Amino acid sequence: MFDPTSVHWRLARTGALVVPATLLAGLGHQLGGGGLPHVGAAAAPAVVLGLAWYPATRRATRWPELLGTLLAAQVLFHLMFSLADHAPATVDLWAMAGFHLVAAAATAVVLAVAERAAFRLAAAWRRTVARALAVPAVLAPPSWVAQLPWSTPQPVAVAGGGPLAARRGPPVG
């Protein structure tokens, strides 16, 4: 069943936050004049971000939560990329901070819309498809039983006793 709070969907939602945050941080670092970030400098904060964000996916997340997390991630990525990059920093700090803020805000808006859509889709799924696929419960057994001409019990003579109704076994005769 489609449930955005199941383990698989929580992992997918965590990845949907970590991947854009990592890519935006790397893109911003390059656009700001830095070199291509080392894989380790990108992977370490991505893992930290994923581990920090996964518990928040137990429920639907809102735009302010996403924005705060993404801003913290941008700071973490910036610090890791700066430590890994040996080139001197010749970047305008206001431009860099502005880019990080705009990138985090845009990503937060997109992810908030996606979160809301996922939870609405899950609710619609439960209302329609899950109900249609559900097997209805049997509340009571039927009160009637079909009587076919050959299914009526016939008296059978038993040695040492009177007739009995034969209900099971092969036909007598």
Dihedral of the CA atoms 10, 22, 47, 104 (nearest 10)?
-60
> pTM of the entire structure?
0.64
pLDDT by residue (tens digit) across 48-100? 999 988 998 888 888 899 899 989 988 888 888 888 776 656 667 787 788 88
Tell me the mean pLDDT in the region 33-47.
83
Q: What are phi and psi of 133, to 5 degrees?
A: -85, -15
Q: Where are the domains of the chain?
A: 7-133
pLDDT (0 to 100) of residue 96: 75
